[in-house]
Every structure is written in structure tokens, then in C-alpha cells.
Amino acid sequence: MSNYSICLDIGGTKVLGAIFDGDGKIVHRIKKKTRSSDNSINVEETIVALVNELMSEFGIRSDKIEAIAAGAPGIINNDTGVVLFTPNLPWRNYAIKESIEQVFGIPFFIGNDVNLGVLGEWTFGAAQGLDHVVGLFVGTGLGGGLIINGKLYSGHQYKGAEFGHMILNIDGPQCNCGQRGCLEAFSSKTGMSDYIRQQIRHGRSTMMESAVAEGVFRSKEMKNAYDAGDAVMIEAIDRACMYLAVASGNLVNMFSPQMVLFGGGVMEALGDVFLEKIIAKVNAFCLPSVRDSVTFAVAALGDDSILFGARALILEHRG
């Protein structure tokens, strides 16, 4: 009998993998770096290497694995396992389910990472017992998830809840999706890194200069700079939180959720700071009568929300 499952959180800068035992507890984990500049085969090779490493280090064979499940950014057909588009990884119409199942001979399931993050928090974390939840996860990119009437909403052809790509300023910065002024372009680590580089070009000094020289900063570097009072980093965070407040207010007015939930690596590093700044601004963008019934919270499962969501996906397929 297969007693274990492997769950993955595939991001623009890393792949986090964990083995769950039959009781739903994480018994082993590994993290590997990825680069969004890598091609699709290289990213897949990183995933395969991580899964092999997990099994080798924990000392189990593939016949002990019930299934592998993953969350990844972008638009993903849950039925076919094809990644249609992702702005922060080199995948376009990419049949990753077929590839991974050929390698391991194990069922493989994949869904949008933030959809799964919200599903994980709803099943095991901060949003348990609620029927209406909006999720915003802030990392390399910025994704959304939505629970309506006690069910995960994914929209027609699994293309729904792309809250990171709501346009908040038509003259705003270019987003990796090709549009201008998306929430992601302001409030993700990519957006904040772009802002910091812009300020450096204007002659301002910041301890984040080396952190953004070749791409996106790490969450730990953001926290260190914020704690040190770095003016440019603080500005980037304030700007990110303002647009998160605008977006949250719009989502509150649209869906009247019981909770707006914030997750992702940025919240794992500075969740209390971000939440306080968002709450301080959000009332200006909500109808008061709708705002009164909404709570704002940081994901209880932290960096593991998507892993637990992948675990929930396996349980759904088990039936």
C-alpha cells in the first residue's frame, strides 16, 4: 500500500518539496533554486531531481508514493495537467503532467499555486470553517485564490481568480504578463525589485543594491533592509501595501468575503508589517457596510500553504 505523498510548491525562484505521511504530516522537505530564465526542460529537471532526492534522503521507493501534486504559478488546466501560461516561468502550453508521470510512473496532479494555497488554508489552516474567502499570495509574482459557497472557484477552463493581474493603473509599470499597471507589477517581489532598481538609477543609495542587481531579492534580504530602516526598501513596501489595499478593497466590494487572506514568501517574512499597513489603508477602498463583516489575516501555514493545498488536491482525487 502507498503510504506517502509528495507535494511541491513550484515558484519563480525555487521549488519546495515535501513528503507527507499517511496522517498528513510533513516528514521530510527539500528546497532547490530555480531561475525563471531557465528553459522548461531545465525547470522540469530540477523538479525531477528534487523528487528523487526526497525519496533517496527519506529512504523510500516510488511504489510507496500514492501521488505527486504541485502548485505552480499561472493558468493551469487541472484536468489535463497542461500549464497554459505562467508569467514567471518558461512554460507555455506545457504538458508537465504527462512528463512527470512518464518519469516516475506515479499519478501527478497540478493546479495554480495560489488556488492551492487558499485551498490548503481553507482545509487545514486559517480559513477553516469559512464559506467565502479571498486569497492574495505575495511572492516572486502575485496570485489569487477564491472560495465561494464553500468551494474553490477556478472559473471557466481554470482561468479564474487571476487577481494579481487586475489593472490598477493603466499608465503603471510593465508586468511580466504583458499588461501595464497590474497589482503584481506593484506589489510582488518582482515589482518591488523593479522599483528599487529604478530608485538606484535615480542616484539613491540602498542596502538592497546587490540584492536586486541580477533579479528579484530574497524575502530575508527585504526583512533585513526593512529592519535596518532602509528608506528605499520601506518606500517599496509602502507602495506595495497601498496597491494591495486598493486591490483588497475592490475584492471586498465584489465578493463580500468573510476573510481576505494574505500568504506567500513576503508574508512569511514580514506578514505583520504588511497586514498592518494594508488594514490602515483598506477602509478608503471598501463600502463600510461590506468592510464591517470582513477580517484580514496572514496565512497560518506560512510557507507551507501551497504544500498543504497540494495535499488537499491529492485527497480530492482519492475521493
Condensed to tens digits (0 to 9), the pLDDT of residues 97-138 reads 999 999 999 999 999 999 999 999 999 999 999 999 999 999
Percent of the chain with pLDDT over 70: 96
Instruction: Identify the band that residue 250 occupies on the pLDDT scale cut at 50, 70 and 90.
Output: very high
Domain limits, CATH 3.30.420.40, in the chain: 4-117+304-318, 129-299
Q: How far is 167 from 233, CA to CA, in rounded Å? A: 23
Strand order through the sheet with 75-77: 75-77, 82-85, 92-95
What values do phi and psi take at 270, rounded to 5?
Answer: -140, 40
| Helices and strands, counts by H and E, the chain | 10, 13
Distance CA 307, CA 8 (A): 6
Per-residue confidence (pLDDT) for residue 259, from 0 to 100: 98
- Write the CATH number of the domain with boundaries 4-117+304-318: 3.30.420.40
Which residues make Cβ contacts (< 8 Å) with residue 203, sequence separation at least 6?
none
Model confidence at 67: pLDDT above 90: yes
Rounded Cα–Cα distance for residues 254 and 166 (Å): 13
**CB–CB of 51/61 below 8 Å?**
no
* Fold classification of 129-299 (topology level): Nucleotidyltransferase; domain 5 (3.30.420)
The SS3 of residue 145 is: strand
Residue 87's nearest CA partner among 179, 171, 223, 149 is 179
Task: Judge whether residue 14 has pLDDT over 70.
Answer: yes
Q: Do 160 and 146 contact (CB within 8 A), yes or no?
A: yes
What pLDDT shows up at residue 193? Answer: 98
Say which residues have a Cβ less than 8 Å from residue 209's Cβ, sequence separation at least 6: 200
Please determine, for residue 42, whether its predicted confidence score (pLDDT) is greater than 80.
no
